[in-house]
Structure 1
Amino acid sequence: MRAAILHAVGNDKLDIRDDVTLAPVGPTDVRVRIRATGVCHSDLSAMSGVLPQPMPLVPGHEGAGEVVEVGDHVDSVRPGDHVVISWRPACQSCDLCLGGQPYLCPKYIIESFSKGNFRFGGDAATAFGMAGCGTWAEEIVIPQQGAIKIDDEVSWEAAALIGCGITTGVGAALNTAKVRPGSTVAVIGCGGVGLSVIQGARVSGARTILAIDPLESKHELARKVGATHAVTPEQVPGALNDLTAGAGFDYGFEVVGKSATIQSAWQITRAGGDVIVVGAGALDDMVSISAFSLLFEGKRLLSSLYGEADVRRDFPYFAKLHKAGQLDLESMISSRIRLADLNDAVEALRRGEVLRQIVLMD
């Protein structure tokens, strides 16, 4: 089959090849034929080393497809089912899972650093899948917990977006922040996840949603999916005064993954408000907030990993919201491309020219 392989961190080009095979399907594994997969900024972070991954690597973690084979002990899906890929499968038996935090379950993420399910070349060298997935391939083998059945009427493109960007962003608003109706929200970063946060805030009934991004080209789309206002970082002080009388927003979402923007989110959130970190940052990028401010301003600094989702509940729920017209997924797709176009797609994402490119498998 075909797949895109990154041989080493920092390589500029993916090796798109057609001699890739898969490890056998284990008793609790499923094999999925990928039908659509997104090109997400986290893929870039894996390629650059910001998000540590084993090498060689098949990138891609935001995808959807059709089950073609299941292990003997799999009872959650069967061949022919349409599924969304979860890049953070939950074992469903550890303390974190049983305690209601399946998005923090480490079992399969840890396994993904030692278990590579791809083989390539004459010597059948092992390649690993990003976060244990590797959706930039025509087929993948994953644990059954990573294949979540979804309504067959949902398009492959929409299902792929639900696999990461939508769940991460909408979940941050609904699950982590629990945005209240009538509240004020600021969102720093208007990429795919940032726009999903905006949509989650709109669905929650926020009265004011400020989108902040240095690229004015993103402002129109931010308004289309739910932002009431959109500004560049330089225009934030004026917006802060106009929209909150200088008090700050009830919720400040950081969807960039930089210490500077986390501090900006802190600064524009009101006393007693919530600052929610959604962006994936680097290990050595340290955030500095004074101990005095942490206590006396009464703000809560929250992280939102994968939208704090229970994917068994949230993937189907977000699909229902999409079918009901409450989540606009079509507007978030910049272009539909082929697997052979991935090098061009990665470069376009590096330049900030695109929002979400979706690879449709032939």
Structure 2
Amino acid sequence: MKTRGAILRQAPGKFEVVDLELDDPRQGEIRVKMVASGMCHSDDHMATGDLPVAVYPVCGGHEGAGIVESVGPNTAGYAPGDKVIFSFLPACGHCEWCSTGHQNLCDLGALVLVGSRWDDPNSFRMHLDDGSPVGQALGISTFSEYTTVAVDSAVKVPEDTPLEKACLLGCAAGTGWGSVVRTGEVAPGDTVVIMGVGGIGAMAVQAAATAGAENVIAVDPVAFKRESAQRLGATHAVASMKEATEIAQSLTNGQGAALAVVTVGVISGDHIAEAFASVRKQGTVVVTALGNVTNVGIPVPILELTLYEKKIKGSLFGSGNPRSDIPKMLRLYHAGKLQLDELITTEYALDDINRGYEDMHAGTNIRGVIRY
């Protein structure tokens, strides 16, 4: 069938909305009519070349939700009309990582930037009109009106799910929440610093507040984002890590924060060093943000790392299990304990995708969402 999708022909580059040929689903696959797609900074990393992919052109988007249009043969558990939220990381369910409760580290994740099917590097589901292959970002390409995906990447959700909001559970919400609760292991009474208040950072602020942190210090140079963080549960909101560190120390008898989560748009080693300086003895720095894949080095004092027993931990999709975490967070949303609507600043048409990313860079959005 025909669809329209936003592709990158090269990197650095800009998204271009074109007509695409979309294959029917095969065994273990579904074809989905998209309802909404979040506009994550990671797709911008693909556009800038910070996060290179194996095949160009590539159809972007990895945070989305939609309605099943058709189901591949011998594919149990799905039917046309089902609502699904995509997990940007697939979960096979039987590799070592999935079977030990670490679905975010599923072995299939090694293939999410190749653009083809997991089991065949020459098998694609999207093509240009001339028949040349188009890679699918993270195997799902939510920047397309329709997409054909492996069921490894889909989580079926209840019929009453508002997909235009719940699409955020497929990346930003789960990543921000898990970075604090799972990777950071926040405890009631903790002082927490959240460095960067985009979609992920805004959810991290909520997670810290909901988990009982006494002090939640949000850091962002943009005033609008600081104000948003305070509405979402931050007790303090400042423009710099220097200010955040001083506040954290003043609230903890000079010790510093128990946890600092780095959710800036484009990370460098210096960001991690600033977070490291803000935490106390046995404090934890959780690194969630992405930057150029070639960047190496974190300028932290080695003696302080050893003698203060500080920890630096990476966090992929919040160290979570999407098949259980997405339904759990959806229940919290329905119970009024998780704010998703408030994270969505602006909705865009697919044709306005580049304007959406311009707004992201300008700092006017917490999260932009494409509505189909």
Unaligned runs of 5+ in 2: 117-123
Q: Which residue of 2 aligns with 1:136?
A: 143
Deviations 1:59-110 (CA, angstroms, capped at 9, x unpaired): 1100000011112232232221111011100111111211221111232541
Q: RMSD of the alignment, in Å?
A: 1.5
Unaligned runs of 5+ in 1: none
Task: Give me the whole-angstrom Cα distance separating, in 1, the residues matched to 2:275 and 2:360.
Answer: 24
TM-score by length of 1: 0.95
Q: Which residue of 1 aligns with 2:212?
A: 205
Q: Which residue of 2 aligns with 1:312?
A: 323
Deviations 1:24-67 (CA, angstroms, capped at 9, x unpaired): 31211111111000111111011111112131111110000001
Deviations 1:148-185 (CA, angstroms, capped at 9, x unpaired): 01122221222111111000001112221221111111
Q: 1:237 to 1:101 in 2, by over 3 A?
A: closer
Q: Which residue of 2 aligns with 1:90?
A: 91
Instruction: Note the 1:44-123 alignment, pairs <5 A.
Output: 44-53=44-53, 54-107=55-108, 109-110=110-111, 112-113=113-114, 115=116, 116-121=124-129, 123=130
**Given that residues 115 and 139 in structure 2 are in contact (C-alpha distance below 8 angstroms), is that contact kept between their aligned partners in structure 1?**
no
Deviations 1:222-251 (CA, angstroms, capped at 9, x unpaired): 011110111111523432343223210011
How many Å apart are 1:252 and its aligned residue?
Answer: 0.8
Task: Give me the whole-angstrom Cα distance separating, in 2, the residues matched to 1:102 and 1:78.
Answer: 24
**Given that residues 76 and 144 in structure 1 are in contact (C-alpha distance below 8 angstroms), is that contact kept between their aligned partners in structure 2?**
no
Name which of 171, 178, 194 aligns with 2:201.
Answer: 194
How many Å apart are 1:134 and its aligned residue?
Answer: 0.9
How many Å apart are 1:130 and its aligned residue?
Answer: 1.1
Count of residues in Structure 1 that have an aligned counterpart in Structure 2: 358
Which range moves more in the overlay, 288-297 or 89-98?
A: 288-297
Q: Which residue of 2 aligns with 1:172?
A: 179
Q: Which residue of 1 aligns with 2:121?
A: none
How many Å apart are 1:135 and its aligned residue?
Answer: 0.5
Q: Counterpart of 1:20 in 2: which secondary structure? A: strand
**Given that residues 209 and 233 in structure 2 are in contact (C-alpha distance below 8 angstroms), is that contact kept between their aligned partners in structure 1?**
yes
**Given that residues 109 and 131 in structure 1 are in contact (C-alpha distance below 8 angstroms), is that contact kept between their aligned partners in structure 2?**
no
Task: Give me the whole-angstrom Cα distance separating, in 2, the residues matched to 1:81 and 1:249.
Answer: 44
How many Å apart are 1:112 and its aligned residue?
Answer: 4.9
Task: Give me the whole-angstrom Cα distance separating, in 1, the residues matched to 2:289 and 2:113.
Answer: 22
How many Å apart are 1:111 and its aligned residue?
Answer: 6.0
Which range moves more in the overlay, 239-248 or 339-348?
A: 239-248
Q: Which residue of 1 aligns with 2:119?
A: none
**Given that residues 157 and 327 in structure 2 are in contact (C-alpha distance below 8 angstroms), is that contact kept between their aligned partners in structure 1?**
yes
Q: Counterpart of 1:97 in 2: which secondary structure? A: helix
Task: Give me the whole-angstrom Cα distance separating, in 2, the residues matched to 1:83 and 1:114.
Answer: 21
Q: 1:349 to 1:8 in 2, by over 3 A?
A: same
Percent of aligned positions that are identical = 32
Letter in 1 for 2:300: I
Q: Which residue of 1 aligns with 2:237?
A: 230
Q: 1:156 to 1:185 in 2, by over 3 A?
A: same
- For the pair 1:246 / 2:254, whether they are aligned, the reply is yes
After TM superposition, what 4+ stretches of structure 1 lie above 6 angstroms from structure 2?
Answer: none
Task: Give me the whole-angstrom Cα distance separating, in 1, the residues matched to 2:239 and 2:342.
Answer: 21
How many Å apart are 1:127 and its aligned residue?
Answer: 0.8
- For the pair 1:325 / 2:326, whether they are aligned, the reply is no
